[in-house]
Each structure stands twice: as structure tokens, then as C-alpha cells.
Amino acid sequence: MWKLFGVAVGLALVTPPGAEKTATTRALEAGAKVLQRNRPVAGFDIYLVGFHPMKEHPEQQFEAHHYCHQMNEDFAQCVLFDGNSRAANLHGVEYIISEKLFETLPAEERQFWHPHNGEILSGQLIAPGIPKAAEKALMKTKMNSYGKTWHLWNTTSDALPLGPPMLAWSFNRDGEAMPGLVESRDRKMKLNTALTRQQRSDLQALARPQSGVDDLKGKFARPTSDIPGVTSK
């Protein structure tokens, strides 16, 4: 299994209120680090960074740093953070399934799963810090997949996790992302979404129509346009 890491440049958006850790708490943490095992989280080695609009409120959009564990070829589970530093806040979870598993879901369940081809073919979903050939091979394995994502904390505005979980969606048309959202990420992390998109153009041949592509169509005040290769089932 690949272990994929990126440069720690994404900072947490908020610092939750609370007292400084006491010496007792720090001692307990140090002891736990030595004596306890972290097997459930040790395998979350695949690092991806992308963006999520909330399905019910599409203009509410988050940058999401995914740390994922590929359980098998058809299923991965990810924890989501608002940055990639030690100070980052956990603000969501995502499960990723293959097209094969998606087709086994009942119709009422499918409404919770967003398509991934738009994220990949637009160049917005990136695995930082690894060779481009390895990143492209990784993205190839995620073509036609789906994700079920819940964001638990709006760290762009709230100092604590407030309110109910929010179902996230994917960008499936150019122009759906808020102006400056992708560009800000690219500047911080020294990424080039436009170049990545060009380098993935041959993956369009693998793209099949996906459910959910048009779920946010027409819900943005600004103009949007098709992403080549991204089609609705």
C-alpha cells in the first residue's frame, strides 16, 4: 500500500476555545503514545485535498484534506481536516466506494453519494507530494467512484462543532466553486489545478455517466459549464 504525504502548509481555520493542556494531560498523552497502539488510525496514509459544497447549501463550500485508508479495491474510508498541520481540526468523514458497490445500493440510499469524475477530471482533487505518475495512477483507480461525506464542523465560521451534520456534494461543472477557492488552495500548496487537469485529459476515456452529476445544476447564481467527460446517468 502506498504511503502518501504532502508538505504541511494548510493551517487550521479556527482554534477551539479551552484552557491550555495541564502537565497531567501532557503526561497522560506521552504515556499513551508509548504504551497504547493506534491500529485503527495507523493505516490512514493516502492524502488527498479537494473541495466540497454542501448539498442543501451549495454556496457553503469547504477545502477538505482527506486522510484515507483503502480497505480493499472497492471501499475506502477517510477522515477530513481543515488543514494538514498538527493544529488542523477534524471536520468530517467520507466513505468512498466503487461503481460496482454503488450499483448495489437501493435508490433511496444513492441520494447520499456524490460522483467523483468531476473532481478528478477538473484537476481539483489532488494527492500532494507524490510523483505525477503515481498520482495519476491513484486517480485512475478512483474514476467512476462515489463518496458519502458528512461535514460535522464549519470551521470557516464556528469555533465549535455546532448543529447537525451536513451532507456534502461534489463540483460537477466549471464555475460551481466559489471564485478564488481553488486558486487560494493552489497558492498555499504550490499546486496547479489547470495543469493537472490537462495531464488527466486522457482519463476522460474511462469516464462513464454517473448519478448525481446534475443535482446542483442551476443552483448557483454565476454561470457554469460542462466539464468534458462528466456526464449524468
- For the chain, what are the domain ranges? 37-226
- Work out the average pLDDT over 209-229: 97
Helix (H) or strand (E) holding 109: helix 107-110
Query: What phi and psi values does residue 173 have, to the nearest 5 degrees?
Result: -140, 145
- Work out the average pLDDT over 164-185: 98
* Whether the predicted pLDDT of 2 surpasses 50: no
- Work out the average pLDDT over 42-71: 96
Closest CA to 212 of 120, 122, 147: 147
Name the CA radius of gyration of the chain, rounded.
18
| Model confidence pLDDT, tens digit, residues 75-122 | 999 999 999 998 999 999 999 999 999 999 999 999 999 999 999 999
Share of the chain above pLDDT 70, in %: 91
Report the mean per-residue pLDDT for the chain. Answer: 91
CB 52 within 8 A of CB 62: yes
Share of the chain above pLDDT 90, in %: 81
Euclidean distance between CA atoms 147 and 24, whole angstroms? 40
Residue 40 pLDDT level (bands cut at 50, 70, 90) = confident
- Work out the average pLDDT over 43-51: 94
| Model confidence pLDDT, tens digit, residues 65-84 | 999 999 999 999 999 999 99
Give the pLDDT confidence score for residue 59 in this predicted structure. 97
Give the pLDDT confidence score for residue 205 in this predicted structure. 98
* Whether the predicted pLDDT of 214 surpasses 60: yes
Closest CA to 51 of 216, 209, 162: 216
Euclidean distance between CA atoms 195 and 169, whole angstroms? 24
Q: Say which residue the cell 469555533 belongs to.
A: 159
* Whether the predicted pLDDT of 11 surpasses 80: no
| Model confidence pLDDT, tens digit, residues 122-166 | 999 999 999 999 999 999 999 999 999 999 999 999 999 999 999
Closest CA to 90 of 2, 176, 151, 1: 151
Minimum mean pLDDT range among 20-24, 156-160, 203-207: 20-24
Residue 4 pLDDT level (bands cut at 50, 70, 90) = very low
- Work out the average pLDDT over 5-16: 59
Three-state DSSP state, 63: strand
